[in-house]
Chains A and B, each alone.
Chain A
Amino acid sequence: MSLDLSFYSWELIQNFLIKGLLFSVQLTVVATLGGIAFGTILALMRLSNKPWLTIPASCYVNVMRSIPLVMVILWFFLLIPTLIGRPIGADLSAYITFIAFEAAFFCEIVRAGIGSIPKGQAAAGQALGMSYAQNMRLIVLPQAFRNMIPIFMTQIIILFQDTSLVYAIGAYDLLKGFEIAGKNYGRPIESYLLAAVVYFLICFSLSRAVKALQKKVAIIR
Chain B
Amino acid sequence: MALIEIKQVSKWYGSFQVLTNCSTNIKVGEVVIVCGPSGSGKSTLIKTINGLEAFQSGEIRIDGVSVGDPHTNLPQLRAQVGMVFQNFELFPHLSVTENLTIAQIKVLGKSQSDATALGMKYLERVGLINQKDKFPGQLSGGQQQRVAIARALSMNPKVMLFDEPTSALDPEMVGEVLDVMVQLAHDGMTMICVTHEMGFAKKVGHRVIFMDQGKIVEDCSKDEFFLHPEKRAPRAQEFLAKIITQ
- Residues in A lying within 8 Å of B, measured CB to CB: 118, 120-121, 123-131, 134, 138-139, 142-143, 146, 219-221
Which of A120, A134, A139, A221 contacts B85, CB < 8 Å? A120
Whether B89 and A129, one on each chain, are in contact in the complex, defined by CB atoms closer than 8 angstroms, is: no
Which of B87, B93, B107 contacts A128, CB < 8 Å? B107
Chain B min CB distance to A99 (Å): 28
- Please measure, in the bound complex, the distance between the C-alpha atom of A12 and the C-alpha atom of B71, giving whole angstroms: 68
Whether A127 and B78, one on each chain, are in contact in the complex, defined by CB atoms closer than 8 angstroms, is: yes
Residues of A within 8 A of B195 (CB): none
Asked if A220 meets B89 with Cβ closer than 8 Å, knowing A127-B50, A129-B75, A130-B107, the reply is no
Whether A143 and B107, one on each chain, are in contact in the complex, defined by CB atoms closer than 8 angstroms, is: no
- Residues in B lying within 8 Å of A, measured CB to CB: 50, 52, 75-83, 85, 87, 89-93, 102-103, 106-108, 135-138, 151-152, 155
Asked if A128 meets B151 with Cβ closer than 8 Å, knowing A121-B91, A143-B92, the reply is yes
- Please measure, in the bound complex, the distance between the C-alpha atom of A142 and the C-alpha atom of B91, giving whole angstroms: 10
Shortest 7 CB-CB contacts between residues of A and residues of B: A129-B79, A220-B137, A124-B89, A128-B103, A127-B83, A129-B107, A120-B89
Which of B52, B75, B107, B151 contacts A123, CB < 8 Å? B52
Shortest Cβ distance from A124 into B: residue: B89
Whether A219 and B137, one on each chain, are in contact in the complex, defined by CB atoms closer than 8 angstroms, is: yes
Whether A128 and B135, one on each chain, are in contact in the complex, defined by CB atoms closer than 8 angstroms, is: no
- Please measure, in the bound complex, the distance between the C-alpha atom of A139 and the C-alpha atom of B152, giving whole angstroms: 16
Given contacts A124-B90, A220-B137, 5 further A-B contacts (CB under 8 A): A123-B52, A128-B79, A129-B80, A130-B75, A130-B103
Residues of A within 8 A of B102 (CB): 128, 138
Shortest Cβ distance from A142 into B: residue: B93
- Please measure, in the bound complex, the distance between the C-alpha atom of A127 and the C-alpha atom of B82, giving whole angstroms: 7
Asked if A121 meets B79 with Cβ closer than 8 Å, knowing A127-B50, A129-B103, A130-B106, the reply is no
- Please measure, in the bound complex, the distance between the C-alpha atom of A139 and the C-alpha atom of B89, giving whole angstroms: 11
Chain B min CB distance to A119 (Å): 10
Whether B92 and A219, one on each chain, are in contact in the complex, defined by CB atoms closer than 8 angstroms, is: yes
Whether A124 and B75, one on each chain, are in contact in the complex, defined by CB atoms closer than 8 angstroms, is: no
Residues of B within 8 A of A123 (CB): 52, 85, 89
Which of A125, A134, A219 contacts B93, CB < 8 Å? A219
Residues of B within 8 A of A139 (CB): 91
Asked if A129 meets B91 with Cβ closer than 8 Å, knowing A134-B106, A221-B137, the reply is no
Q: Which of the listed residues A118, A129, A130, A139 has the most CB atoms from chain B within 10 Å of its own CB? A: A129
Whether B92 and A221, one on each chain, are in contact in the complex, defined by CB atoms closer than 8 angstroms, is: yes
Whether B91 and A124, one on each chain, are in contact in the complex, defined by CB atoms closer than 8 angstroms, is: yes
Residues of B within 8 A of A131 (CB): 75
Whether B93 and A143, one on each chain, are in contact in the complex, defined by CB atoms closer than 8 angstroms, is: yes
Whether B92 and A220, one on each chain, are in contact in the complex, defined by CB atoms closer than 8 angstroms, is: yes
Asked if A127 meets B52 with Cβ closer than 8 Å, knowing A120-B87, A220-B137, the reply is yes
Chain A min CB distance to B138 (Å): 6
Residues of A within 8 A of B152 (CB): 127-128
